[in-house]
Amino acid sequence: YYVEDALLSAVERLPNVELRLGQEIEEVRNLPSHAELDIVAGDTRYQLHTDWLIACDGSKSAVRNLMGLDFDGRVFEENFLIADIRMEQERPAERWFWFDPPFNRGQSALMHKQPDGVWRLDFQLGWGIDRQACVQPENVERYVRAMLGQDIEFTEEWYSVYTFQCRRMKRFVHGRVLFAGDSAHLVSPFGARGCNGGFADIDNLGWKLDLVLRGEAGEALLESYNDEAIATADENILNSTRSTDFLTPKTTVSKAFRDAVLELASTEAFARPFVNSGRLSTAIHYPQSSLNTPDVHAWNGGVAPGSPALDAPVNDAWLLPQLGGRFVLLANGWTQSVPAEVELVDIAQWPGDHSLLQSRYALQSGCGYLIRPDHYVAARWQSPVSAAAVQASVARAKGMSQ
């Protein structure tokens, strides 16, 4: 809620944003040139016309439901109890996970520290449960005291029961309506891939829609959002599904595998990656993106087109914040001109040692990288090329040429 408050405050300060709370959408008409919404706000009804509608209204998306669209994927036959409690404990800020603990036999449990003296406890409950009964204070207290001790003093912050899902829409772009975040895809809450996936969607969509609205790119560019955001969702769903299957195995073979990995991981390094199936959320690569300009020459290392740009220290700062939200040519001794819409960032003009940056990008003298506004590599060259060649890659990255 601290993040939400900060975001709302930032949005309110923007001169081109009108924030309306307590609104409900009753009807969506997706027309060729715009979208129309019928909206209810208390006793008031009104109609809203918009060139583009970004539906980021959550897992129970009203926009998705009103348009008759649905998710495809998997709903896991499992439930977890969330018990957010407030207590005074001198425990390290670590995330704990128990498999088959004595206080929740045959199931699993989690615990991690949150701000303001709040601790989140999760207890696996199984499938055939009474969800209403499970969140009654006396039943939650039984679980909490079994985990933390009978004499623990705590107060209720929030109790809930959730079910895992790993699902997504077939398409995220539907005419004038663009879906992002949980309205477009859902993952189980393991691996920090839910909210992070939503931010990845908007990071991908924001600069593309901006170019379309400015008339600097055609509407076809938004189809690349559909392709790249689906690639992100599929990788997140894959890793989240693997994590969920590991945490809550449903077959004898899956359980035997999980238990063997846990036993070996304490002494054998090769087994430890199996415990965490895919790391926490990381930026997804788009090697097949239509916005990439393929390499002309073979590279020994570096960052390939379609890959997220790597950060590196530069003097007393970091690289990525200096790339900004624009097309940038990151180079090392660039001798040709660049198009007006591309900013040249030439490390040969910077003082200090940049060997780490050069190593990560294989950025030898004369090399250059065209980086998109969302910090993805669109093209790269081993020697300076003409402004026309750079412009051709920019056009491709805008979806304007192939």
Per-residue model confidence as pLDDT tens digits over 292-301: 999 999 999 9
Mean pLDDT of 255-273: 91
Q: How confident is the model at residue 91 (pLDDT cuts 50, 70, 90)?
A: confident
Q: What is the mean pLDDT of the chain?
A: 92
Q: How confident is the model at residue 305 (pLDDT cuts 50, 70, 90)?
A: very high
Q: Is the pLDDT of residue 277 over 60?
A: no
pLDDT recorded at residue 217: 96
From 305, 301, 210, select the one nearest 16 (Cα to Cα).
210
Q: Is the pLDDT of residue 164 over 90?
A: no
| 249, 315 contact by CB (below 8 A) | no
pTM listed for this prediction: 0.90
Q: Is the pLDDT of residue 276 over 70?
A: no
Q: How many CB atoms lie within 10 A of CB 190?
A: 23
Give the tens place of pLDDT for each residue, 124-139.
998 889 999 999 999 9
From 120, 85, 137, select the one nearest 109 (Cα to Cα).
120
Q: Is the pLDDT of residue 280 over 70?
A: no
Hey, is 19 helix, strand or coil? coil
Higher confidence at residue 6 or residue 92? 6
Q: How confident is the model at residue 279 (pLDDT cuts 50, 70, 90)?
A: low
DSSP state string for 223-247: HHHHHHHHHHHHHHHHHHHHHHHHH
